[in-house]
Amino acid sequence: MGDRQRIHPVVPEDCWTSPQQVIESHWRCERAGVGRHVNRPRDVLTGGRLQTFLKPYQNLAPLVQGVVVATAEYIPNKCLLCIMTDQSARIVAIHGAYKMLRRCEECGICVGASLAEESAGTNAMALALRLGEPVVLRGEQHWCRLFWDWLCAAGPVVGTDGKSLACVGVAFPSDSGLGEKLAVAWLLAEHLRGPMEVHRQAGRLTGRQLEIFQLRASGYRNKEIAASLGIREDTVEKHLQAALPRLGACSVEQAIARLARGGVI
């Protein structure tokens, strides 16, 4: 990510989300029966449902944390909070300063919680996913009291097909340093685009194909993989070749490198 330095992006005058978009979000929240004094997300996964939800992201989580930590070092703010959600606005990962993490814990913002409008009212993450563009909201623009004291900036992680793969956002307790806040959100989205695209592509693989790639990445040859799985050696090769187009790769080595960078294997 280059030499560390403070970020001083040029922030346009119209960087704030338009009032009409905020109003429309408020209308949706009201129609969904979300009260303005809701102080915790209404939809939170726990137990087995949480474990099932997180299973596809277990290898991606360390990579996300590394990107968040590296990006956060660009700004000297001790109250940084970074959140990543899936494409439905359910939280996959949270990283930040101890003070902010404690604050999240107190108001139920945790891994597995949904930030969709029907769960948490108008917020930057849900709106960024709906609009497909960066969103910045002041405290009073949020529908629920849950976020009234926070300034939030979020950006969707957009795949090569133009669809949102996930969303990343940052939250702070004040409006100061808006340029840096926006820059962090945009940097996170940009640096997570590649890994999330690979993560989505890996979802097109069959269980057998993924298993074979994992074994190849561990140093096993096709002959050894065939013996281990009880299949023919040419069947192993057929699985690998069939998977290459799904990963946008030209060779098995390139596919393994992509899967590794995406935290899949």
Ranked by mean pLDDT, which of 159-163, 234-238, 258-262 comes out on top?
234-238
Ranked by mean pLDDT, which of 16-20, 84-88, 163-167 comes out on top?
84-88
Do 111 and 235 reside in the same domain of the chain?
no
Do 168 and 85 reside in the same domain of the chain?
yes
Q: Which pLDDT score is estimated for 170?
A: 81
Domain boundary among 167, 197, 227: 197
Do 184 and 217 reside in the same domain of the chain?
no
Burial of 19-58, coded b for 16+ CB within 10 Å and e otherwise, reads eebbeebbebbeeeebeeebeebbebbeeeeeeebbeebe
The backbone region for 246, taken as left when phi is positive above 0, alpha when psi lies in -120 to 50, beta otherwise, is alpha
Do 147 and 215 reside in the same domain of the chain?
no
Confidence of residue 16 (pLDDT cuts 50, 70, 90): low
Query: Which of the pair, 66 or 232, is modelled with greater confidence?
Result: 232
For 170-217, write each residue's pLDDT tens digit: 887 665 555 566 666 666 666 666 777 777 777 788 889 989 998 999
Q: Which residues contact 105 (CB under 8 A, 6 or more apart)?
A: none
Q: Which pLDDT score is estimated for 72?
A: 59
Q: Cα(208)–Cα(229) distance, rounded to whole angstroms?
A: 9
Do 47 and 164 reside in the same domain of the chain?
yes
Do 117 and 149 reside in the same domain of the chain?
yes
Q: At CA 184, angle to CA 183 and CA 187, rounded to 5? A: 85
213 falls within a domain: yes
237 falls within a domain: yes
**pLDDT for 75 beyond 60:** no
**pLDDT for 17 beyond 90:** no
For 78-124, write each residue's pLDDT tens digit: 567 888 899 999 999 888 778 888 888 889 999 999 999 999 999 99
Cβ neighbours of 103 (radius 10 Å): 18
3 falls within a domain: no
11 falls within a domain: no
202 falls within a domain: no
Do 36 and 162 reside in the same domain of the chain?
yes
Lowest mean pLDDT among 154-158, 172-176, 230-234, 256-260: 172-176
Average pLDDT over residues 35-45: 93
Q: Which pLDDT score is estimated for 224?
A: 93
Q: Where are the alpha helices (DSSP H) in the chain?
A: 19-31, 47-54, 60-72, 98-106, 117-120, 124-131, 178-202, 207-217, 222-229, 233-247, 252-261
**Are 251 and 244 in contact, with CB atoms under 8 Å apart?**
yes
Do 118 and 25 reside in the same domain of the chain?
yes
Do 227 and 180 reside in the same domain of the chain?
no
Do 85 and 177 reside in the same domain of the chain?
yes
2 falls within a domain: no
Lowest mean pLDDT among 37-41, 56-60, 85-89, 202-206: 56-60
Average pLDDT over residues 161-177: 73
Q: Which pLDDT score is estimated for 238?
A: 93
Query: Which of the pair, 168 or 33, is modelled with greater confidence?
Result: 33
Average pLDDT over residues 152-181: 73
Domain boundary among 197, 215, 247: 197
- Determine what percent of the chain is predicted with pLDDT higher than 90: 38
Segments forming the whole domain that contains residue 111: 19-197
173 falls within a domain: yes
Q: Which two tokens stand for residue 69?
A: 């930590």
Q: Tell me, what amino acid is at 67?
A: V
**pLDDT for 58 beyond 90:** no
Domain boundary among 197, 222, 239: 197
Average pLDDT over residues 132-146: 87
Q: Which pLDDT score is estimated for 68?
A: 66
Helix (H) or strand (E) holding 93: strand 91-96
The residues that bridge with 95 in the sheet, in sequence order, are: 82
4 falls within a domain: no
- Residue 110 maps to which CATH number? 3.30.450.40
The DSSP 8-state label assigned to residue 64 in this structure reads: H
Do 159 and 247 reside in the same domain of the chain?
no
**Could you give the number of structural domains in the chain?**
2
The DSSP 8-state label assigned to residue 162 in this structure reads: S
Do 219 and 190 reside in the same domain of the chain?
no
